[in-house]
Amino acid sequence: MPTYDNLDDAFNIIPKDFDDSTEIVEVDSDLDHIESDYQYSRNQLYKLIQKGQKAIDGIIDVASSSDHPRAYEVAFQGMKHVSDMTDKLIDLQKKMKTIEGDVPQKGPSTINNTMFVGSTAELQKFLKQSKINNIEE
């Protein structure tokens, strides 16, 4: 039985170069970098969504060629994760608008509805009495 030094030799494949070019970003402790943090988060979400879409395309190819139910299940789970990331992108937009103050803060929203139960004659009598009480005060 032959021995192999690595899996590339065992499977007789050519290794693919992996691009591990992650940038290290220095973070200041100041709170003045909200915009840069927003842009960084937004860019990361875009990259994740694009990579997720590429992965889904590959999984769908595998699922269609194998017709295995598990492959389709994995593809649908991947689609759900990508859609969750797009929701996070929208949530990030909403949070940024709230931080910047573009969204007006809502005041109290309590509405008290008062209803009068009685005849119109009683209502006129009540209104006259209220008017007299307000004039006296």
Q: Is residue 61 part of a domain?
A: yes
Give the CA radius of gyration of the chain: 32
CATH of the domain at 40: 1.10.287
pLDDT tens column, 62-91: 999 998 999 999 999 999 999 999 999 999
Written as one letter, the residue type at 131 is K
Tokens in use for 14? 């050519």
DSSP 6: S
Q: Is residue 134 part of a domain?
A: no
Residue ranges making up the domain that contains 38: 33-103
Q: Is residue 122 part of a domain?
A: no
**E strand residue ranges, the chain:** none
Q: Is residue 73 part of a domain?
A: yes
pLDDT at position 105: 63
Q: Is residue 54 part of a domain?
A: yes
The pLDDT of 25-31, averaged and rounded, is 57
Tokens in use for 121? 């004659």
Its pTM stands at 0.52
Count up the domains in the chain and report the number.
1
Q: Is residue 70 part of a domain?
A: yes
